[in-house]
Amino acid sequence: MNKAYFKRVFFEEQALDYPVGKAMYDKLKVQGYDIGLLKSHNRVTGIPGKSARESFFQGKNTLVVGVRKTLDFAPCKPSAHFQLPLVTGCQGICEYCYLNTQLGKKPYTRVYVNIDEILAQAANYIQQRQPETTVFEAAATSDPVPVEPFSGALAQAINFFAHQEYAYLKFVTKFPSIDSLLDLDHRGRTRIRYSLNTDRIIHDYEHRTAVLDERIQALSRLLEHGYPGGVIIAPVILEGNWQEEYGHMMDKLAEALSAYRDIHFEVISHRFARKAKSNILDVFPQTTLPMNEDKSRSYKFGQFGYGKLVYNKALLQEIKSFFTDAIGRHFPEAKIDYII
């Protein structure tokens, strides 16, 4: 199981009215956590932090247990129809994480206890779209796996989707605490993807997450238990001898998983927005993430007016050829969803 890094836990008082909330409270208390109570929803006071860096790390060390009030699910295009909001935030500290610009200056993890209400709302969406199939993504604004041993929200969702003829669930993680999911009767309706990278990139940029071998091992156990699986290789960073390092990663993956056919691959090259770059530099002033705006990058305009610096066309083509070849060689029956 992955280590929990939370140094402080807050409960919204209302969360204790739900059996899941009460059970979490008791579990965390027994484990010795110091628990504060919050009177009002959405006002989390008591997280220290003067500088941007201190606020960030203190936020990352904080768990809030609350009630999800907004039951309008955000869209999740293009990979799913809706986000499934069970958790927001993540205890991991990936320097490039897209959440770093989304969750405010103190990015705490928030777990919701009104899981029945959230799933009832999912049922409404499914019904409205029937007979179309509706896909839900449970990791759009979080990595929900590290808190699963406390909340059991994913297990409940997997059980729910097992009985939905017109829907699928998926989520992605970098953490190995999936033991409680293995024996569920999932009926193949939840696809669990692991986000992978080279040992060096994990070590340099993905702090407080599981090492590569642990991620591969967890994915292999899920596949063994019949789950449809997936691999997201992201962000692909073209540093040093990248072909050799990603080649080594693919070899390890093939060694562990070549017996399985139903694996989807997604490959995403490193990109950054200028705003994200300045936030990253505030929190990680010594970062070695490659964010130079030099010839290796092109500016790509985004949907909402602000763009991103992506690798230039020639480098993107190299990434495409490399991964198409490596995946095709090791996993001839796997599906490549995209390489971007």
In angstroms, the Cα distances linking 177 to 2, 4, 109, 143 are: 6, 10, 16, 11
CB-wise, 100 or 190, nearer to ligand SF4? 100
Residue 261 zone, left/alpha/beta (φ > 0; ψ -120 to 50; rest): alpha
Comparison of 58 and 209: residue with beta carbon closer to ligand SF4: 209
Tokens of 19: 């059996």
Provide the minimum distance between the beta carbon of 286 and ligand SF4 in the complex, in angstroms, as a whole number. Answer: 18
* Residues in region 173-192 near ligand SF4 by CB under 6 A: 174
Q: Would you count residue 99 as binding ligand SF4 (CB under 6 A)?
A: yes
Of 133-172, binders to ligand SF4 (CB under 6 A) are 143
Q: Does 215 bind ligand SF4 (CB under 6 A)?
A: no
Please give the torsion angle defined by the CA atoms of residues 40, 43, 44 and 46, in that order, rounded to the nearest 10 degrees.
-90
Beta bridge partners of 308: 300
- Cβ proximity to ligand SF4: between 189 and 271 the closer is 271
**Nearest CB to ligand SF4, comparing residues 228 and 235:** 235
For CA atoms 199, 202, 203, 209, give the dihedral sign.
negative
Cis peptide before 228, with omega less than 30 degrees from 0? no
With contacts defined by CB under 6 A, name the span among 16-24, 93-101, 284-292, 301-309 that binds ligand SF4: 93-101
Q: Does 92 bind ligand SF4 (CB under 6 A)?
A: yes
Q: Stretches 30-38, 92-100, 287-295, 323-331: which one binds ligand SF4 (CB under 6 A)? A: 92-100
Q: How open is the CA angle 66-68-71, to the nearest 5 degrees? A: 180
Distance CA 85, CA 82 (A): 9
Q: Which of 79, 159 has the CB closer to ligand SF4?
A: 79
Q: Which residues sit opposite 173 in a β-bridge?
A: 194
Closer CB to ligand SF4, 59 or 92, in the complex: 92
Tally of residues, the chain: 340
Span near ligand SF4 by CB under 6 A; candidates 33-41, 71-79, 85-93, 264-272: 85-93
CB 326 within 8 A of CB 249: no
> Interface with ligand SF4 includes 268 (CB under 6 A)?
no
- Map residue 256 onto helix, strand or coil: helix
| Binding stretches for ligand SF4 (CB under 6 A) | 90, 92-94, 97, 99, 143, 174, 206, 209
